[in-house]
Each structure stands twice: as structure tokens, then as C-alpha cells.
Amino acid sequence: MTLDLVRTLRDVRGGLGTRLLAAALVAIIMPLALLADLVRHVRREALVAQVAALDSTRCPRGHRVELISAGWSCAACGSSAPGHGFLPCPACGAIAARAECPCGLSCPNPLFRGTR
Ligand SMILES: [Zn+2]
Ligand SMILES: [Zn+2]
């Protein structure tokens, strides 16, 4: 949100008056944007800590799916290393969308936010 404000200010076209008005508006909004970004960051870190504490999850059929395993491989870069199925890949930082259960169903990763 903070970066969006800076980009908006950078892209403002018009005379000096228009640019000064835009700068004043951004200066008023910036503290709220910084606070919103901070809250979002703290929430995200809390969720990462919660997920990191999980050693397993359940598929929709109730089967236990281990998250800490030597068998995980990254779908993005192909790297395989012991680790946590829901945390970022240690090689490339990609986050898996889900963990697959042997029954065929999958468990969504709460840290996954889609492809960027
Ligand atoms: Zn990877
Ligand atoms: Zn299952």
C-alpha cells in the first residue's frame, strides 16, 4: 500500500499546484498506509509461525498428512530437501499451494497467495 502511494505520487501529471496537492494528500495518507502495511506484515508473520509449528494437517477425508518430511520436492524449482511442506522452499522461496494426501485429495496451504 505504501509503495502504491509513492508510485501514484510519482505518476501524477499536471502543474505545480496539482503536484503539490497530490503530495499533501499522500503525506496525510502515508501514516495510515504505513500502519496498514505493518499490521499486514505482523499478521503474516504470526500465520507463518502458526504454520511452522504444525507437523501435520488433515485432508478433507480426515487422513493425517505429514508436513515435515524428507520427501518434499519443490514444484517450482524441483529442489528436494528435508523440510516443511507448507513453508517456503529453501532453494527458491516458492510456497506450495497444497500438500497432497495419498487418497488423492489435497490440503490447502494457508500461506499460499497465488502466483505472482
Ligand atoms: Zn524451490
Ligand atoms: Zn486423504
- Residue 106 Cα to ligand 2 midpoint, Å, equals 7
- Residue 22 Cα to ligand 1 midpoint, Å, equals 42
- Which ligand approaches the C-alpha of residue 78 most closely? 1
Task: Identify which has the larger pLDDT, 44 or 5.
Answer: 44
Q: Report the alpha-carbon distance of residue 111 to residue 108 in Å, rounded.
A: 9
pTM of the complete model: 0.71
pLDDT exceeds cutoff 70 at 70? no
- Which ligand approaches the C-alpha of residue 98 most closely? 2
pLDDT, tens digit, 9 for 90 and up, residues 23-58: 999 899 999 999 999 999 999 999 999 999 999 999
- Residue 51 Cα to ligand 1 midpoint, Å, equals 18
9, 26 contact by CB (below 8 A): yes
Q: How confident is the model at residue 107 (pLDDT cuts 50, 70, 90)?
A: very high
The structural domains of the chain, with segments of one domain joined by +, span 1-53, 55-116
- Which ligand approaches the C-alpha of residue 57 most closely? 2
pLDDT, residue 28, reads 93
